[in-house]
C-alpha cells in the first residue's frame, strides 16, 4: 500500500469519528460519566481500605509503643550485660581491665570443673536450699493460720511477724553478729540457764557458721511469706470449713483436708521464690562471716563476688560462675512453670 493511500484512510477515520461525536453527543457523555464514576468508586474504596488497615495497625502497635521505654531500659540494664557476661565467660579478662578480652574457649569451664572451692560453695548452696526452703514453706503457713483468726489485737501479731522484713539486711546482720558473738546474748543466756558452761562458736566454727546464717535468712523471710499465705487463706470460703466440720474434719485435721489442698498454688509459689532467694543469698554472708571459716559458709554468689571484685579481679571466671548460677535459677523457674496448676 502506498503512503498516499494510508493518509487518505487516516483522514477518512477522523471524519467518521467527528461525525459520530456530532450525531451521538449524549451517548458519549454518558459513557464518559459512567467511566468517571467507576474510577471514583474504585479510588474511594481503596482509600477506605487503606484507612481501615492503618487503624488496625495503630491499634496493634500502640501497646508496644507504651512498652518500648521499659524494653529499652531492660535492654540496656539487663539483656546487654547478660550477653556481655556470656561472651566474657569464654575469654580471659583479668585484673588489667584496659586490655581487650582474649578468647580462650572453654578454658574457664575446665577450670571451674577442677575448682574444689567452687564445688564446696555449690554444696553449701544446696545445703542452704535443703534447710531454708522447707522451713520457709511450712512455718509461714502455720503462722498465717494462727494470725488469720478473728481475735482482738491480732493485727499487732501480724505487724510483729512482718517487722523483720522491713529491717535492712545490713542492720539485721550486724545485730545478729552481736547476738552470735562469744560474749553475745545467746551465749550469755545459755550460760545463765546452765545449759552450757562455755559459749558456742556460732560464726567462728565450720560446724555452726552456715546454720547460723540460715537461721537469719529464715527469721527475715517468715513474715514476707506469711503475708502471701494470708492472701490465700482469706480467699477460702468459710462454708468449706463448715462442711468439713459436718463430715468430722475439725481442729488441725480441717487444715490438712481443706487448707493445704487449696493452698497448693501458694505453696509452690513460696517454694520457688524462697529457693531462688536462697540461691542468691549474699548480704548475710558478707556481713556476718565473709564466707569463712575455711569456706564453710561461702555460697556461689559470694564466691562469684570474691572472684570478680576481690584481689584477682578475674572478671571472666566470675562470669563463668554466674552462667552456671543462671542455669540453676533457670531450672528452678521452669520447674515452677511446670508444677504450677493451669486454669
Q: Tens digits of per-residue pLDDT, 238-254?
A: 888 888 888 887 778 88
HSE of 46, CA atoms in CB hemisphere, 13 A: 6
- Are the C-beta atoms of residues 321 and 307 closer than 8 Å to each other? yes
Backbone angles phi, psi at 149, to 5 degrees: -75, 145
- Enumerate the H helices of the chain as residue ranges: 3-23, 25-74, 80-88, 107-113, 116-147, 154-166, 169-179, 185-192, 209-233, 238-246, 252-254, 260-262, 264-279, 283-288, 300-309, 315-339
Q: What is the pTM of this model?
A: 0.76
pLDDT of 51 reads 63
Could you tell me which CATH number the domain at 115-339 has? 1.10.3720.10
Q: Tens digits of per-residue pLDDT, 263-293?
A: 988 998 898 889 888 888 999 999 999 988 8
DSSP conformation letters of 312-336: S--HHHHHHHHHHHHHHHHHHHHHH
Q: Angle 264-279/116-147 helices, nearest 10 degrees?
A: 140
Domain ranges of the chain: 3-69, 115-339
pLDDT-based confidence at residue 210 (cuts at 50, 70, 90):
very high
Q: Tens digits of per-residue pLDDT, 136-173?
A: 999 999 999 988 887 787 888 888 888 999 999 999 99
pLDDT of 33 reads 47
Residue bearing the bigger pLDDT, 62 or 177: 177
Q: Tens digits of per-residue pLDDT, 2-19?
A: 455 555 555 555 554 545
DSSP conformation letters of 124-184: HHHHHHHHHHHHHHHHHHHHHHHHTS--TTHHHHHHHHHHHHHS-HHHHHHHHHHHTSTTS
Share of the chain above pLDDT 90, in %: 31
Q: Is the pLDDT of residue 31 over 70?
A: no
pLDDT of 114 reads 93
Taking phi over 0 as left and psi of -120 to 50 as alpha, with beta for the rest, 237 belongs to beta
Amino acid at each position: 500500500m502506498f503512503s498516499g493511500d494510508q493518509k487518505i484512510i487516516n483522514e477518512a477515520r477522523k471524519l467518521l469519528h467527528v461525525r459520530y461525536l456530532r450525531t451521538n453527543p449524549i451517548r458519549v457523555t454518558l459513557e464518559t460519566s459512567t467511566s468517571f464514576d467507576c474510577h471514583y468508586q474504585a479510588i474511594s474504596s481503596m482509600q477506605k481500605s487503606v484507612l481501615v488497615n492503618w487503624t488496625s495497625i495503630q491499634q496493634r502497635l500502640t501497646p508496644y509503643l507504651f512498652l518500648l521505654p521499659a524494653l529499652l531500659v531492660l535492654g540496656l540494664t539487663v539483656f546487654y550485660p547478660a550477653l556481655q557476661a556470656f561472651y566474657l565467660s569464654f575469654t580471659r579478662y583479668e585484673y588489667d581491665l584496659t586490655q581487650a578480652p582474649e578468647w580462650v574457649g572453654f578454658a574457664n569451664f575446665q577450670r571451674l570443673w577442677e575448682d574444689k572451692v567452687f564445688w564446696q560453695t555449690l554444696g553449701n548452696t544446696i545445703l542452704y536450699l535443703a534447710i531454708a526452703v522447707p522451713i520457709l514453706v511450712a512455718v509461714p503457713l502455720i503462722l498465717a493460720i494462727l494470725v488469720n483468726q478473728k481475735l482482738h489485737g491480732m493485727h499487732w501479731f501480724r505487724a510483729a511477724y512482718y517487722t523483720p522484713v522491713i529491717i535492712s539486711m545490713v542492720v539485721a546482720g550486724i545485730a545478729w553478729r552481736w547476738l552470735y558473738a562469744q560474749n553475745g546474748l545467746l551465749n550469755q543466756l545459755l550460760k545463765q540457764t546452765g545449759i552450757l558452761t562455755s559459749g558456742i562458736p556460732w560464726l567462728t566454727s565450720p560446724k555452726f557458721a552456715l546454720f547460723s546464717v540460715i537461721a537469719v535468712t529464715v527469721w527475715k523471710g517468715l513474715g514476707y511469706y506469711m503475708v502471701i499465705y494470708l492472701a490465700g487463706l482469706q480467699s477460702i470460703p468459710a462454708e468449706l470449713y463448715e462442711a468439713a466440720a459436718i463430715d468430722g474434719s475439725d481442729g488441725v485435721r480441717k487444715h490438712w483436708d481443706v487448707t493445704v489442698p487449696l493452698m497448693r498454688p501458694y505453696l509452690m509459689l513460696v517454694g520457688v521464690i524462697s529457693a531462688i532467694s536462697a540461691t542468691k543469698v549474699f548480704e548475710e554472708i558478707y556481713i556476718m562471716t565473709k564466707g569463712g571459716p575455711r569456706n564453710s559458709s561461702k555460697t556461689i554468689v559470694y564466691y562469684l563476688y570474691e572472684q570478680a571484685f576481690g584481689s584477682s579481679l578475674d572478671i571472666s571466671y566470675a562470669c563463668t560462675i554466674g552462667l552456671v548460677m543462671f542455669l540453676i535459677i533457670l531450672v528452678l523457674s521452669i520447674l515452677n512453670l511446670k508444677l504450677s496448676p493451669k486454669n
